[in-house]
Amino acid sequence: MNIFKTIGITITVLLIVSCSSSGQSNSNLSTEDHKHFLNSITYESAMNDTTNNQKIEKTEEEWKEILTPAQYKILRKAGTEMPFINDYNSLYEDGVYVCAACGNPLFHSDTKFKSGSGWPSFWKPIHKDAVDEKVDNSYFMTRTEIVCSRCDSHLGHVFDDGPEPTGLRYCMNSAAMKFIPKESETD
């Protein structure tokens, strides 16, 4: 990767995170700016960012400005996308999945498995502090909701019917994540 591209990406990420986490409002950030931010994340930068737990706080209006309507419905209103017809259910490339709201690294493809549920499923997060759990009593049942540890956005749910070694199935919404492929050795 070109050193100038790496420096530019690093500066962009630092500016967005510092404005978001310092409590400053960045009302000029658009959906396109946010898309550019997510597209600037590389596999290497995501893997080097797995222990950054600095909270990102935005108003709901700010989230509406930067997220697509589908992302907002899932990430901020705890919606659920349709099974089987989402972007990452059948994707098994090498890479890392980051939060579509804030870019927090969430899951590595090494822990993804075919659950048959219709949603991308993982047996553990990329780091123990990447996600947080909340009790979800919606739809007349009790489940464990999974949210991003940095921005508290809804990602999906975790169930105890996954494979070894954890026995867990982190059942995530594709629209709540962005897949960052691992660069080839020649990049």
Q: What is the pLDDT of residues 6-29, one digit of tens each?
A: 444 444 444 444 444 333 334 456
Strand order in the sheet with 112-113: 112-113, 121-122, 169-172, 154-159, 143-148, 131-136
* Strands 95-99 vs 105-108: parallel, antiparallel or unpaired: antiparallel
* Per-residue pLDDT at 51: 82
In the annotation, is 171 catalytic? Answer: yes
Look at the chain and report how many structural domains it folds into.
Answer: 1
On whether residue 68 sits in a domain, the answer given is yes
On whether residue 47 sits in a domain, the answer given is yes
Distance CA 93, CA 114 (A): 13
On whether residue 186 sits in a domain, the answer given is no
* Per-residue pLDDT at 28: 56
Which tens digits make up the pLDDT trace of 86-129? 999 999 999 999 999 999 999 999 999 999 999 999 999 999 99
- The answer to whether 144 and 60 have CB atoms below 8 angstroms apart is no
Using alpha carbons, select from 93, 114, 97 the residue that is nearest to residue 106: 97
* Residue 148 pLDDT exceeds 70: yes
Side chain identity at 156, as an amino acid letter?
Answer: G
Structural domain including 50 reads: 3-181
On whether residue 115 sits in a domain, the answer given is yes
Write the CATH number for 169.
2.170.150.20
Q: pLDDT class for 60, splitting at 50, 70, 90?
A: very high
Q: Which of 102, 148, 151, 171 is catalytic?
A: 171
Better-scored residue on pLDDT, 6 or 180? 180
On whether residue 150 sits in a domain, the answer given is yes
Residues linked to residue 177 through DSSP beta bridges, in sequence order: 99
On whether residue 187 sits in a domain, the answer given is no
On whether residue 31 sits in a domain, the answer given is yes
Measured CA distances, 133 to 6, 28, 29, 43, 174 (Å): 34, 32, 29, 25, 18
